[in-house]
Amino acid sequence: MAYIAIFITYIFINNFILSQFLGLCPFIGVSKNSESAIGMGMAVTFVMGIASIITWVVYNLVLLPLGLAYLQTLSFILVIAGLVQFVEMIIQKNSPALYQALGIFLPLITTNCAVLGIAIMNITEGYNIMESFSAGIAAGIGFTLALVLMSNIRERLDLHPVRKAFRGVPIAFISGGLMALAFMAFDKSLLTNLLG
């Protein structure tokens, strides 16, 4: 039950983009067409899941026993940067097709605040390792959902006349705001209604 709650929370209630403002740069930058939105979303979900596990291990099995908790930010970002590089190399070697699809997005993920964000959140929420992993995957799915919805909206907007000053980024923000309004329908009471 706890895992279902985590999934619903991170996909709908605390959607990373639409209610936490984490990962806004790719939300605006990579949402011009739906193909690249799906690619970016998959790459982020993948990295967030693995990063959640590794940062949990680093924090609880290395930093805490050594009394180095203040190095959290520094070590997490290094782990994530290394991980992204490593994932890129593995995918390039083993699956050229997947590399074609995800390759150009991988370097961007290091500086995506959603990845470092979930790593820090797992620690502050006090999740265990499986909960951290679920939260990472769920937050990634929530990110993908918002990104794909946004890219579809923007593809439609391209076909419609928009006032010159609003073209491009401003209308994207306003569409995002309207989506966030819709997502406000998901709140904590949803969890209590569903799971009791």
Partner 1 sequence: MATERMQVLTKGFFKENPVFIIMLGLCPTLGVTTQVVNGIGMGLSVIFVLVFSNIFIAMLKNIIPNSVRIPAYIVIIAAFVTIVEMVMHAYAPSIYQALGIFLPLIVVNCIILGRAEAFANKNTVLDSFLDGVGMGIGFTLSLTLIAFIREVFGAGTITLVPIGGFDGVIEIPLLYTYPVRVLTLAAGALLLMGYLKAFFEWNAARKRG
**Contact region with partner 1 (CB under 8 A), list: 14-22, 35-43, 56-64, 90-98:** 14-22
Query: Smallest gap, in angstroms, from Cβ of residue 23 to partner 1?
Result: 7
- Retrieve residue 132's tokens: 């951290």
Sign of CA dihedral 93, 98, 101, 103: negative
Residues 6 or more apart from 37 whose CB is under 8 A from it? 30, 31, 144, 147, 148, 150, 151
Question: For partner 1, which is the closer residue by CB, 141 or 146?
Answer: 146
Q: Is 111 helix (H, G, I), strand (E, B) or coil?
A: coil
- The DSSP symbol for 104 reads G
- Retrieve residue 139's tokens: 């937050």
Neighbours of 116 (CB within 10 A): 20
Position among 8, 13, 22, 147 found at the interface with partner 1 (CB under 8 A): 22
Residues 6 or more apart from 57 whose CB is under 8 A from it? 129
Q: Is 66 in the site for partner 1 (CB under 8 A)?
A: no
Question: For partner 1, which is the closer residue by CB, 17 or 101?
Answer: 17
Question: For partner 1, which is the closer residue by CB, 19 or 92?
Answer: 19
Angstrom distance (rounded) from CA 51 to CA 81: 10
Q: Is 73 in the site for partner 1 (CB under 8 A)?
A: yes
Question: For partner 1, which is the closer residue by CB, 97 or 160?
Answer: 160
Query: Smallest gap, in angstroms, from Cβ of residue 167 to partner 1?
Result: 8
Residues 6 or more apart from 93 whose CB is under 8 A from it? none
x/- site string to partner 1, residues 94 to 123, per CB under 8 A? ----------------xxxx--xx--xx--
- Retrieve residue 114's tokens: 């959603």
- The DSSP symbol for 196 reads -
Query: Smallest gap, in angstroms, from Cβ of residue 97 to partner 1?
Result: 27
Question: For partner 1, which is the closer residue by CB, 3 or 166?
Answer: 166
Give the footprint of partner 1 on this chain (CB under 8 A): 18-25, 28, 70-74, 77-78, 81, 110-113, 116-117, 120-121, 124, 164-167, 169-174, 176-178, 180-181, 184
